[in-house]
Amino acid sequence: MYAAKLGARMRDLRLERGLSLASLRQAGGLTPSQMSSAERGRVQVTMGTVAAVARALGLPAFVLMAFPDEDPLAKVLEEIRQAYGGDLNEASSDLGTRLLSRESRKRHSRRA
């Protein structure tokens, strides 16, 4: 069951980026045949495979293994990821900037 959920998640993220099975291979992922089997949940996926697919998709590996429909924290992460067009690096940078700015304002108001 987990293999099928993970495979479906990989497929959804691949399609979201408009990548074919072949283009994923060119980006350093699995062969089209291997990826197809993984996406259909027909094979157990190793952490090496998750890491390779994540690299090819430009995502941290944990995003592939986060199931928004099952975990509230994963749902929040997915909403943030989607709000930034799938770019977690941009989301992380923006959130970091906002948090630093907020903390700076707090320190400044305490001094006043």
Taking a C-beta distance cutoff of 8 angstroms, is the pair 39, 10 a contact?
yes
CA 59, 50, 78 angle in degrees (round to 5)? 40
State the chain's mean pLDDT as an integer. 84
User: How much is the pLDDT for 73?
Assistant: 87
User: How much is the pLDDT for 84?
Assistant: 87
User: How much is the pLDDT for 30?
Assistant: 76
What is the token pair recorded at 71?
Answer: 């975990």
User: How much is the pLDDT for 108?
Assistant: 67
User: How much is the pLDDT for 12?
Assistant: 92
Residue type, 13: L
Global pTM? Answer: 0.74
Which DSSP state fits 85? Answer: T
User: How much is the pLDDT for 28?
Assistant: 64
pLDDT in tens, 22-67: 887 776 667 888 888 889 999 888 888 888 888 888 888 888 888 9
**Of all residues in the chain, what percent carry a pLDDT higher than 70?**
94
